[in-house]
Amino acid sequence: MNDIPQKDSVDSTSPRDGHHLLPIYPRYPVAFETGAGVFLYDDKGRAYLDLVSGLGVNAMGHAHPRLVPIFREQAGRLVHLSNHYDNRHTTAFADRLCDLTGMAGVFFSTGGTEAVEGAMKLARLAAWDGFGGRKHAFVSLQGSYHGRTFGSLSVTGQERYREGFAPGLPDIRFVERNDIAGLRAAMSDEVCAILIEPLQGEGGIWECTPEYLAEARRLADDYHALLIYDEIQCGLGRTGDWFAYETAGVRPDVLVIGKPMGGGLPLSAFLVTEELFHVFRLSQHGSTLGGGPLACRLGLEFLSIMEGEGMLHRIHQTGNYLRQQLLMLTKELPVATAVRGRGLLQGLEMSIPGRPLAEAALQRGLLLNVTQGNIFRFLPPYILEQEHVDQAITILHELLSIASDAEKACASSVPTDQK
């Protein structure tokens, strides 16, 4: 049965009907009550296979048996503290993150955009200290996504997100991903940092080449600028490596992370090398809610599960299996045009809009995320298994077959001289 909606069921609610959440997100027509593992359950108890995992936050799935007791126990002891006081979970998590990344210092914040802001402020301040205020420009990539606050929005390389909010930060120089000549041309003494998502997620699952990252490193050094990686989406195991930049072997000066690191609680961070440890002086930056004991204890447990349960290996294996299955769809079904990605960050590009298909998938008990209008972005929990991939592929195969047949029928009904 062709029940793929022809139009998005986009929210047209208003406060007059008792709806008070601003209609900013195009919400799907479902409300969830509980979650367990890779499944979510709606208010009628119906199960949905979750390949979105809260946009990459719920990496251990829902209600993970090692995270839930920590939530309970730590909530009964200490949830939040001001950063004016120490607690052992926050300091231990900072130590662990530095061991993991080879960085020397950490600043905790709450969400990705806040951590990007902090990294940008640090780059400005380091440049100010060394060269004065004229060294203020950022080089960023077209197609990138860095967040929604003014600084991170200003360096987000997608006009549609910046439209209506001008003026943003001055002198942001956007360059094409993997265009080495373009990157060289954008550099000057005014640049304080080059900001790169080594694997662009929201932008459509596009990777930077090792050569490009190596050139960015060289140019940053030559121009006394910082190289900042935004690994909020592609880091912390998502690609099957701890960090996406590892395959290129080109290290940043500042690494920004977020999403899964608080076990579901809002937690993000930027990490810096030893040379940058003292750039911020006392009280030059801050975050009331960043790095509380509960979030950091959950973060420690997240890392411990990653290591103790061989999670990187699992991500590689399940990610490769998912990729193979998606590639098979592209061979068979004309509307499925390309597969890109690594580990459990995969994209399936289509020749048609994704939202109606995602709504049809929802009706079949499968949660999918659409980015850039026509790409399914797979960000499943790391605990996904092959049987779940099979379940998802069966549904995708059915929906993409219907859509491919509809496309074919449409094309054959067009008179030949109009093709």
Ligand X SMILES: Cc1ncc(COP(=O)(O)O)c(C=O)c1O
The residues binding ligand X (CB under 6 A) are 55, 111-113, 116, 145-147, 197, 201-202, 230, 232-233, 258
What's the start-to-end Cα distance of the chain, in Å? 28
CB of 245 to ligand X, least distance (A): 13
Cβ atoms of 193 and 135 within 8 Å: the answer is no
Give 111 or 260: the residue with its C-beta nearer to ligand X: 111
CB of 3 to ligand X, least distance (A): 30
Structure tokens at 6: 């022809």
The amino acid sitting at 134 is: R
Give 233 or 346: the residue with its C-beta nearer to ligand X: 233
CB of 234 to ligand X, least distance (A): 7
Structure tokens at 306: 């990653």
Cβ atoms of 97 and 295 within 8 Å: the answer is no
CB of 124 to ligand X, least distance (A): 18
Give 37 or 231: the residue with its C-beta nearer to ligand X: 231
Give 37 or 252: the residue with its C-beta nearer to ligand X: 252
Torsion-angle region of residue 172: left (phi > 0), alpha (psi -120 to 50) or beta? beta
Give 255 or 360: the residue with its C-beta nearer to ligand X: 255
Give 146 or 355: the residue with its C-beta nearer to ligand X: 146
CB of 235 to ligand X, least distance (A): 9
Closest CA to 299 of 47, 66, 14, 10: 66
In the 8-state DSSP scheme, what is residue 209? P
Structure tokens at 316: 């590689």
CB of 146 to ligand X, least distance (A): 5
Q: Cα torsion at 386, 370, 36, 298 (round to 10°)?
A: 100
Cβ atoms of 231 and 255 within 8 Å: the answer is yes
Closest CA to 290 of 54, 73, 90: 90
Closest CA to 403 of 364, 354, 363, 367: 354
The residue of the chain with the least Cβ separation from ligand X equals: 112
CB of 195 to ligand X, least distance (A): 10
Give 197 or 253: the residue with its C-beta nearer to ligand X: 197
CB of 232 to ligand X, least distance (A): 4
Give 71 or 229: the residue with its C-beta nearer to ligand X: 229
Structure tokens at 169: 């930060």
Q: HEC string of 172-187?
A: EEEECCCCHHHHHHHC
Give 272 or 402: the residue with its C-beta nearer to ligand X: 272
CB of 347 to ligand X, least distance (A): 13
List, edge to edge, every strand of the sheet that includes 268-272: 105-109, 268-272, 254-257, 226-230, 191-196, 137-141, 172-175
Neighbouring C-alpha atoms within 13 Å toward the C-beta of 412? 5
